[in-house]
Structure 1
Amino acid sequence: MKTEFDKKSVIRQRIQESLIHSTSHGIPSIITSDNWILKVFWIIFTLISTGFCAFSIIQNILNYYKYDVTTKIRFKYEVGSEFPSITVCNSNFFSSEKGYNFYLKSLDKKKLIENSLKEEDEFAHQLALKLNISEIKSLGDSLDKLIYETCLDNREFVMNNESFTYFFHLYFGNCYTFNPGHFENGTKAVPFKSYTTGFRAGLTMKLNTTDSLGLLNDAVVLIHEFQTSPNLADPLFIKPNLTTNIALKRTFSTQLPKPYSNCDSNTDDPKKFNSDLYKEIHDSSYKYSQKLCQDLCFHKLLIQNCSCYTYEDGRFMEGEPCLTESGSECNYDFSPYFVDMDFLNKICLPKCPLECNTKCFNKLITSTRKNKEFELIELKIYFEDNVITEIVENEVMDIFTLISNIGGTAGLFLGVSFLSFAEILAICIRVLLILNEGNKNNAQNTKSFIITS
């Protein structure tokens, strides 16, 4: 029978044998050194190497949790590119004869409302927002009246609901979107593509922006990504009696999702986030955008605080339009209040995740003056070239790089590898087997003693 002393001796011997044959360099040299000077030498250098190794590994782990990224910019050549959506409007909200008559009647109604808006144009605009959408349509240009002709890559388009969709803009009224992301019945549309570049190609439009009094007005052009809301685009005001060329250069950006940036992945999935604002944007048939979600959040808070909205401060046609000075002043004061109370960070951003993929169009605008008798606005929008600027983020260190760095550091300073850690596990297994064998022998000896007795 092995005594407790024998068992410890065997364990010590097995551990020593394993350490001597270890793939790490320092420990075997310490054990096998006969001279105490060499033994101390190996102990000192093993401790120093272990310290440097630990420091380097900690630095690698800390660098990994910084979530740094590298930004790669490349120029991609593409033929047959998806054309953006183009929304055009007349800058005059009341451009039709019915619109002009409505404006005149609104002056009489203004006198009946106490503390009504001081500006007549503003009051008429706000009063029009109380109408339903079919009544509002009659106040401005129809599709056939506003857009005289449309060609894409020299292919003429018929003015119908398959090429254009109606869009109501809070500021400009009747607008029409060419190459819409969805039709008016809600079904998704297939984007048009442009296969040639330069001013001879692309989209050519002739716009009639005269009003019922025969006055020429500016055209308003909104250039936005296919399937996105026209509200995301900054308006371009196109003067009459001009041929205006807008050359587009495209930039596509892709960010890494959290924790590498502030963006969230899969924002195209309407079920991804449990947010009423997020779901409402998806229900609108437009592609999700954080900016659109923030605008909706701002508008709802505006209604909660002021009980009404103005076409200058509101973002959506939701709630009651303001007809009084007190309501307009509340709207005017709400924007700085929104900033001061930090509603954006406290209320809106938690409900409006940031998308990781964005597309933007850089515009170069040139104009040529026509004959003064030329009433139509000629508009040309085209891709300047076939090059797309892509900006892509990549992580500086992923989990596999971290493991490789740790392995390389351990190999450099200690001469260990993954198999060296397996040797530690093997030592533990050998010790357990020795202990288990001793327990079995003790149990058999106890049983034999009982039978003999």
Structure 2
Amino acid sequence: MGDEKAASEVGERAAWTNALSSWLARTSLHGAPLVWLLLTLFGLTMATVQISQRIRYYYSNPVSVDIESSHRRRMPFPAVTICNQNWLSCSWHGKHNNCGARQFKRTFTDYGLCYTFNHYMRTPLVSELSGSKYGLQLVLNVEQYEYVRGPEITAGVKVLAHHQRQPAMMQNSGVYVPVGFKADVDLRLKTRTNVPPPHGRCGDKTLTFYRSYSKATCEMDCVYQYMMDLCHCRDVYLPETSPGFPALCSLKMWLMCALQVPEYYHYTGRLCQCPQACHSSHFDASVTYSKLSYKSAPNVVGGHPGKYREARHRFLQSLNTHERVHPSRVRRTREITDQVTLALQGLKDSLDNSFQRVQKTVARFDEIFLGLDHQVQVLVQVTRILKAAYQTYIVDESVDPCSRLVDMGTISLVAIGKYEIHERLSAR
């Protein structure tokens, strides 16, 4: 089969060669330039198409993505914000209990009061070795028995690793560490460099309330500005532009205005022009959990036996408090509370009904007084009409005798008549 295929190909090439030789033998010199002209025009056309495609590709601003992975010997350690202040021990860089409360800064976040480790911007701590042993190790006493009823339904702590220049936005970031677990957090620093226009879409702009730019801080700056316009005050976790300004919101303003601002801001569809930063870095965290044994608690806090005894004492004290509250007493207290609540509700309903009846009575009195006032006004008008008619009648009765005396032609009687008229008018 292979020999037959090869022979067929040789025959086809020979046929094409013979056909070309025969065509060249029959073609005159006048036809050869036309062929070359057509070939030249075809070549120029193809070259023009290729050049135009390259030009359009160039002006489309193409971008190539380069991903580089590097392993550094020394790396700045991130700021670590923890929303729990009850730590029993703190270890850094493989040394046991070599850090404490002085290395933590109190930080107000959108999640509440938290504490930040390694918050120094100018001289951050540097990690020279990898592994959980050479990072930050904390033993926390969550004190779940001290929890009260509130909006949060979970028990544990929240941890966020971030750059020192970036605010700790705990509400939508960070990892949860539940109670009774050991959590190992693996951090990887990712640095991104984007291309500015026209080849890219990254950008930068000056913010009003934050020093460093990122897409997250830009959005927070917009919400902050909206809060200032609407409430004329700031929430506790938002920074100051100058000492004492803007002023903190009072409890009333916080409940009535500032608390609803973020939700209302997104609900109204107000959007800020916040492009991606041209240079940004963040820490990706992957977490693994393992359950702690209750028998290992003394070993976990072995370096601080005093703190362990204090935590154990507080825990036992809370258990005794709970045990002293017998379930029957709790039920009896609940029944009494329900009865008092029902009685107060009945009293409230009675007062509401009484108030409604009083309102109806007052409305009826208003209608009666309005009718009486109208009747009095009518009587006043009738009295004025009668008085005017009576005065007219008196004048007519007094003037008629005078006119009769004048008709008699006696002047003296006219004078007496006028005198009598005056007397009668004054007497009446």
CA RMSD, Structure 1 to Structure 2 (Å):
3.9
Q: What residue in structure 2 maps to residue 59 of structure 1?
A: 53
Instruction: Say if 2:224 is the partner of 1:296.
Output: no
Q: What residue in structure 2 maps to residue 176 of structure 1?
A: 115
Please give the residue correspondences for 1:355-370 in structure 2 after superposition, counting only pairs within 5 Å.
355-370=278-293
CA distance in 1, matches of 2:98, 2:137: 10
Structure 1 residues 210-266: Cα deviation after superposition (integer angstroms, max 9, x where no partner): 4995989632311113443222771333233332222234444333332232213xx
Structure 1 residues 53-99: Cα deviation after superposition (integer angstroms, max 9, x where no partner): 12111110111122233334454333333322211222xxxxxxxxx
The amino acid across from 2:272 in the alignment is: L
Instruction: Say if 2:272 is the partner of 1:344.
Output: yes
Q: What residue in structure 2 maps to residue 158 of structure 1?
A: 99
CA distance in 1, matches of 2:260, 2:157: 31
Consecutive unaligned residues of structure 2, counting only runs of 5 or more, are 1-27, 149-153, 241-245, 302-428
Q: What residue in structure 1 maps to residue 257 of structure 2?
A: 327
The amino acid across from 1:169 in the alignment is: T
Instruction: Say if 2:59 is the partner of 1:79.
Output: no
Per the TM alignment, residue 147 of structure 1 is displaced from its structure 2 partner at its CA by: 5.7
1:305 and 1:46, CA in 2 relative to 1: closer, same or farther beyond 3 A? Answer: farther
Instruction: Say if 2:89 is the partner of 1:148.
Output: yes
CA distance in 1, matches of 2:221, 2:199: 27
The amino acid across from 1:189 in the alignment is: T
Q: What residue in structure 2 maps to residue 204 of structure 1?
A: 137
Contact 2:63 2:200 in 1 (8 A): no
1:149 and 1:334, CA in 2 relative to 1: closer, same or farther beyond 3 A? Answer: same
Per the TM alignment, residue 204 of structure 1 is displaced from its structure 2 partner at its CA by: 0.8
Report SS of the residue matched to 2:182. strand
Instruction: Say if 2:200 is the partner of 1:261.
Output: yes
1:328 and 1:239, CA in 2 relative to 1: closer, same or farther beyond 3 A? Answer: same
Runs of 4+ residues deviating >4 angstroms: 211-217, 306-311, 314-319, 372-378
Please give the residue correspondences for 1:227-306 in structure 2 after superposition, counting only pairs within 5 Å.
227-231=165-169, 234-264=173-203, 273=205, 275-277=206-208, 280-282=209-211, 287-306=212-231
1:64 and 1:370, CA in 2 relative to 1: closer, same or farther beyond 3 A? Answer: same
CA distance in 2, matches of 1:329, 1:202: 37
Report SS of the residue matched to 2:257. helix
Of the candidates 220, 224, 240, which is equivalent to residue 162 of structure 2?
224
TM-score by length of structure 2 reads: 0.51
1:332 and 1:171, CA in 2 relative to 1: closer, same or farther beyond 3 A? Answer: same
- In our comparison, the structure showing a higher alpha carbon Rg is 2
Q: What residue in structure 2 maps to residue 118 of structure 1?
A: none
Q: What residue in structure 1 maps to residue 25 of structure 2?
A: none
Contact 2:227 2:258 in 1 (8 A): no
Report SS of the residue matched to 1:230. coil
CA distance in 2, matches of 1:46, 1:297: 63
CA distance in 2, matches of 1:150, 1:61: 60
The amino acid across from 1:168 in the alignment is: F
Structure 1 residues 382-420: Cα deviation after superposition (integer angstroms, max 9, x where no partner): xxxxxxxxxxxxxxxxxxxxxxxxxxxxxxxxxxxxxxx
Per the TM alignment, residue 293 of structure 1 is displaced from its structure 2 partner at its CA by: 1.9
Contact 1:241 1:377 in 2 (8 A): no
Per the TM alignment, residue 209 of structure 1 is displaced from its structure 2 partner at its CA by: 3.8
CA distance in 1, matches of 2:259, 2:220: 20
1:153 and 1:256, CA in 2 relative to 1: closer, same or farther beyond 3 A? Answer: farther
1:36 and 1:363, CA in 2 relative to 1: closer, same or farther beyond 3 A? Answer: same
Please give the residue correspondences for 1:287-436 in structure 2 after superposition, counting only pairs within 5 Å.
287-307=212-232, 320-321=249-250, 323=252, 326-327=256-257, 331=261, 334-339=264-269, 341=270, 343-345=271-273, 349=274, 354-371=277-294, 374=297
Bigger share in strand = 1
Contact 1:309 1:328 in 2 (8 A): yes
Identity rate of aligned residues, in percent?
Answer: 17
Report SS of the residue matched to 2:219. helix
Contact 2:77 2:124 in 1 (8 A): no
CA distance in 2, matches of 1:242, 1:373: 12
Structure 1 residues 143-168: Cα deviation after superposition (integer angstroms, max 9, x where no partner): xx64632322336433365x433322
The amino acid across from 1:218 in the alignment is: G
Consecutive unaligned residues of structure 1, counting only runs of 5 or more, are 1-33, 91-140, 183-187, 268-272, 379-453
Contact 2:193 2:280 in 1 (8 A): yes
CA distance in 1, matches of 2:299, 2:265: 38
Report SS of the residue matched to 1:56. helix
CA distance in 2, matches of 1:292, 1:365: 29
Bigger share in helix = 2
Report SS of the residue matched to 2:83. strand
TM-score by length of structure 1 reads: 0.48
Q: What residue in structure 2 maps to residue 68 of structure 1?
A: 62
1:201 and 1:43, CA in 2 relative to 1: closer, same or farther beyond 3 A? Answer: same
CA distance in 2, matches of 1:333, 1:362: 28
The amino acid across from 2:267 in the alignment is: Y
The amino acid across from 1:363 in the alignment is: S
CA distance in 1, matches of 2:97, 2:126: 13
The amino acid across from 1:70 in the alignment is: S
